Amino acid sequence: MRGKAVRLEIAVLAGVSLILAATLLPQLAVGQVENVDSQRAAALIAENQGNANFVIIDVRTPGEFAGGRIGNAVNIPIQAPDFRARLQDLNRERAYLVYCGVGGRSSRAVNAMKELGFTKIYHLNQGISQWRAQGLPEEK
C-alpha cells in the first residue's frame, strides 16, 4: 500500500513540474527589456545603422512627433485606439528602441510589447527629454 502512495505522489509531482515548465519556460524567452539612457540609445542607433531588424518607436502624440524626433523613428501613439493592433502587426523577432517624452508612456508600451511576445526591447527610460538635454540630434 505504501509503494502505491509513493508512486502516486511521484506521478503528481512530475505532472505539476511539467505544467510549471510548460507555462514558465516560454515566458523566459520573450520580453527581454534593457533600460537605456540617451548615450546608450545613441550608441545602439549608430551600431544598427542600416539594420532593418532594429526599429525605433516613438509612442508620443503625432503633434509631439512632428515637433522633433529621433532619426528614423516611426510614430505609434500609445493613446491611439488601434495601438495594440499596430503592435501586433510588427515582427516580434526584431529589436525595438521605444521612447516617449520622459519615460511613462514608453514604459506602458514596453509592457504591452512584452505581453505580446516581443523578444528584444530597449527602453529609453528618460525619453526624448534626456536625449535633448544631451544635445543629441533630432529630425523634424
Give the pLDDT score at 95. Answer: 97
Q: Which secondary-structure segment (H or E) carries 124?
A: strand 120-124
C-alpha cell at 20: 510549471
Q: Quick one: pLDDT band at residue 93, thresholds 50, 70, 90?
A: very high
| 119 φ/ψ angles, rounded to the nearest 5 degrees | -95, -30
Note the pTM of the prediction, 2 decimals: 0.78
Q: What is the structure's pLDDT at 32?
A: 86
Scanning the structure block, which residue is given the C-alpha cell 517624452? 101
Which residue is listed with cell 512584452?
Answer: 114
Q: What's the mean pLDDT when you consider all of the chain?
A: 86
- CB atoms inside a 10 Å sphere around CB 104: 13
Bigger pLDDT: 29 or 137? 137
Cα distances (angstroms) measured from residue 96 to each of 24, 52, 66, 99: 24, 11, 20, 10
pLDDT category of residue 4 using cuts at 50, 70 and 90:
low
Residue 19 has pLDDT above 60, yes or no: no
